[in-house]
Amino acid sequence: MAINLKMMATFGVAGNFTGHLEQAGEAVDFTNVKTAEAKAPKAVFPTFIPHASKVTPEFLGVFPFDSTKIIFPQGEQKLQIEPECAIICNVEWAEGKVVALTPVFFGASNDCSIRKEGAKKISQKKNWGPSSKGFSDNAIAIDRFDDKGILNRYRIASFLVRDGVVHPYGEDSAVRDYSYIYGKLIEWLIDKLNNQQNEGPAEMINSYLAEAGFPSQIMVSVGATRYTEYGEHNFLQNQDKAVVVVYPEDKYSQTDIVKAVENGTLNDPEVSVLTQTVVV
């Protein structure tokens, strides 16, 4: 099956790794957001909605994905890699509501974000135009979306390469260690896609999906990992390379991945890699 992100509505999940929002300085935005349990993610936010026109903010209709570069947003200073595993899901609809999501592919994602105060919605920090986000050209098929499936073997690593030096940017983390993953994540996503309200930093997603014509597929970046000390305090600059790697832990060690990034030798079909050069 061919993957065409331009036909999909795409989303991110806020707060699905404990500690990330605090590091990003965004926890305060969610002070009044009520969740079913303490570890639950905070919200789903849109990054691209095809056919955005009347209901959906116009900027969300601009296709933001680029697998080779990030165009630095004019007038901004603080830009960070958001290293994630993203899943592509088939969507079943009934009477304008999502009734089922079936994950079919996964891959490395950079849900790149502007750190700025005063943005009322998460999406305003996410899509600033073409080449503001990334998804790997190598998406890997999902056999089953549970702890017996392929994703339970995978980890997420990320790096900032500056002047030829590779710096670990996010904590190397197992996909299975997301706060919500597998069946619990799908149940939560369906609820949010149908029922999330326009409150605080969140938006009413269902109305956007209706305007998009009830797409048969969506892509969801499941959440950003916690930053390393370096990642938390170093923002992207011109000519930096942002690298996100989703790799099988039974085949590669963390050291193997660092060496492969240093040598530029990550070309295994079992590894999903995204490498973007920052362009000002």
Residue 248 inside a domain? The answer is no
- 236 falls in which pLDDT band (50, 70, 90)? very high
Residue 187 inside a domain? The answer is yes
pLDDT for 119 equals: 79
Residue 38 inside a domain? The answer is yes
Residue 189 inside a domain? The answer is yes
Of the chain, the percentage scoring pLDDT greater than 70 comes to: 92
Span 101-118, average pLDDT: 93
pLDDT for 2 equals: 67
Residue 211 inside a domain? The answer is yes
Residue 110: both structure tokens together:
């950079």
Mean pLDDT, the chain, integer: 92
3-state helix, strand, coil in the chain (%, to 5): 20, 35, 45
CATH of the domain at 107: 3.90.850
**Domain assignment of residue 138, given as a range:** 5-153+176-232
Domain count for the chain: 1
Mapped onto helix, strand or coil, the DSSP state of residue 156 is strand
pLDDT for 122 equals: 87
Radius of gyration of the chain (CA): 17
In tens, the pLDDT along 193-233 reads 999 999 988 999 999 999 999 999 999 999 999 999 999 99
pLDDT for 19 equals: 58
Residue 95 inside a domain? The answer is yes
pLDDT at 240 exceeding the cut of 70: yes
Residue 244 inside a domain? The answer is no
Contact 52, 17 (CB under 8 A): no
Residue 57: both structure tokens together:
């903010």
- pTM, to two decimals: 0.94
Alpha carbons 258 and 192: distance in angstroms, whole number: 36
